[in-house]
Amino acid sequence: MQVRNRERDAEPFVTKDGSTIREYFHSDAQSLAEASLAPRRATQRHYHAESEEIYLVVEGGGELEVDGERREVGAGDAILITPGAWHELTAGEDGVRLLCCCVPPYSDADTYFA
């Protein structure tokens, strides 16, 4: 059994899209990370050609745009982002923290910008 702890094992870093990430697991099949954005900050609009993502907002919220559709999201919301879908998350006034599962696992090489 593998157990990883947020504080002990998941050192934060900034990804290509501008969010702060703590990666819990990265296997050959999938990845699980926590992403956060400070209040009113946004990720850079991008897409993943191969990875399907599921976001689960655990704290705060903001506006998520996926392929031109905009929606307010908040704690408890789960969002499916299919491969090839352009997306951008803008944090609200309290910032946002979410879990992100990617299949296949997240890769900088699979992150594309306009």
The residues near 70 (Cβ < 8 Å, ≥ 6 apart) are 63, 64
The whole-model pTM stands at 0.94
- pLDDT greater than 90 at residue 114: no
Least confidently predicted of 15-19, 20-24, 75-79: 15-19
> pLDDT, tens digit, for every residue of 87-97?
999 999 999 99
pLDDT on residue 23: 96
Domains of the chain: 20-106 (2.60.120.10)
- The residue type found at 4 is R
Query: Angle 105-109-17 (CA atoms, 0-180°, nearest 5)?
Result: 85
Adjacent-strand bridge partners of 53: 81, 102
CA distance 45 to 90: 10
pLDDT on residue 27: 97
- pLDDT greater than 90 at residue 110: yes
> pLDDT, tens digit, for every residue of 26-74?
999 999 999 999 999 999 999 999 999 999 999 999 999 999 999 999 9
